[in-house]
Structure 1
Amino acid sequence: MRMRNKPWALDFLSEHKSFIDIDESHQLDITSRFKKQQPIHLEIGTGMGRFITTLAKRHPEINFVGVELDKNIMIRVVEKAIEMELDNLQLVLLDANHLRDYFNADEVSHIYLNFSDPWPKNRHEKRRLTHKNFLKQYKEILKVDGMLQFKTDNRGLFEFSLEHLNNFGMKFHEINLNVHEMESPENIRTEYEDKFSSRGNLIYQLKASF
């Protein structure tokens, strides 16, 4: 998801450092950002933030971290976090290629990938968040019983993900080819999910562990 550049974006984010780490100053020390020591759930690519803020509101017993590279998008997430007064949510302006540099080994209990960029051209497959290069990072930062949850409307990306997770030796706990057919009340629809579903696109989801 790309938004029009806002020249004042970093100034805005800098004013709200209690919610966001914009300079990686808490690298390998994200737990110190929270008031309580609780399990950490991580969303990689927050979009506009509906998913992670709703999840954080529902589950005060869990600490949530949202990673996003686009500072313009992150403004929306910070605004939601402020409005909802979420003290169990922290945001990080970070390139997902550097997760292992920011998070400790065995620190995260759950990873969410929601409607990631499909990068449809073959030459760009290493940029897909379910490529083996990213899976290696997830395996390092996830706890032994940690879960990876992936949701998309892109059939090609879903098939790619199934293949790569399987080749990586991951165990599948759920493969759902139509999330909305019998939608669970636990499903939180992202902004993208509403958009693509309204066009008639099927929503796919998988859950897997290492």
Structure 2
Amino acid sequence: MRLRNIPGAEEALRQYPVFVEDPTAYRGRWQERFGNDHPLHLEIGCGKGRFITTLAEQHPEINFIALEVKAEVIYRTAQRTEKRPIPNLALVQYNATLLPDLFAEQELDRIYLNFSDPWPKRRHHKRRLTYAGFLRMYKQVLKPHGEIHLKTDNEKLFEYSLNQFSEERFQLRHITFDLHQSPFAEQNVMTEYEERFASRGQRIYRTEAVYLP
């Protein structure tokens, strides 16, 4: 997601109640932040926020957290809540490599990885969000039988991810190599990127990986 720099984005974010200024303070007690014991879903890399805000509005019985490392990106998501507050959504600016700083063991029910950077060069493979090191970290914060939902337009990244999930003993289900022509299309919530890709006729790849301890 490439966006122009937005001067003062970090300061502006603090004006939005949906933004969590010190997310590490809620480690192990995100239920207190939301004031309920609903399941907790995390999107790593929320872009402009269409996906996560739509899901949160559709599912008030679930708490959602959107994670982004860049202030100007998550600021776009915050703007979506200006006229339409979403009480079951929290926005966090943090690095995904430090996920255990934010969540205690077995605190998350689901993780969404939507159109993550494929890092195509072999020397960069450890930066891919489905690299084995990341998957082991997700295991720390996911509940038993917690899920990772992956969508991408990159076939090579998808094949790589399927192999990584299998090697880390995740159970794969609902694998599709053409999401918009599959039975899963009806319930699918699109991201901004996805809508653009779909309009060009590009295939979208999707799977769900279940953590089985």
Which residue of 2 is the match for residue 80 of structure 1? 80
Structure 2 counterpart of 1:205, which letter? Answer: R
Which residue of 2 is the match for residue 22 of structure 1? 21
Aligned counterparts of 2:141 and 2:195: Cα–Cα separation in 1? 30
Aligned residues: CA RMSD? 1.3
Asked if residue 64 in structure 1 is aligned to residue 60 in structure 2, the reply is no
Preserved CA contact (<8 Å) 2:24 2:101:
no
Preserved CA contact (<8 Å) 2:44 2:68:
yes
Preserved CA contact (<8 Å) 1:109 1:147:
yes
Aligned counterparts of 2:129 and 2:42: Cα–Cα separation in 1? 14
| Percent sequence identity over aligned pairs | 43
Aligned counterparts of 2:30 and 2:12: Cα–Cα separation in 1? 21
Preserved CA contact (<8 Å) 2:44 2:111:
yes
- Runs of 4+ in structure 1 over 6 Å off: none
Matches within 5 A, 1:38-53: 38-53=38-53
Which residue of 2 is the match for residue 196 of structure 1? 197
Can you list the C-alpha shifts for 1:136-184, whole angstroms capped at 9, x where unaligned? 1111111101111000000011011011111111111121110001353
Structure 1 counterpart of 2:20, which letter? Answer: D
Structure 1 residue 27 displacement after superposition: 4.3
Can you list the C-alpha shifts for 1:111-156, whole angstroms capped at 9, x where unaligned? 1100001111111111100001110111111110111100000001
Structure 1 counterpart of 2:36, which letter? Answer: K
Structure 1 residue 83 displacement after superposition: 2.7
Which residue of 2 is the match for residue 94 of structure 1? 94
In structure 1, the gaps of 5 or more residues are none
Number of equivalent positions: 209
Asked if residue 161 in structure 1 is aligned to residue 161 in structure 2, the reply is yes
Which residue of 2 is the match for residue 109 of structure 1? 109
Matches within 5 A, 1:167-182: 167-182=167-182
Query: Could you state the TM-score of these two structures normalised by the residue count of structure 2?
Result: 0.94
Structure 1 residue 81 displacement after superposition: 2.4
Preserved CA contact (<8 Å) 1:2 1:70:
no
Can you list the C-alpha shifts for 1:45-66, whole angstroms capped at 9, x where unaligned? 1011000000000000000011
Structure 1 residue 70 displacement after superposition: 1.2
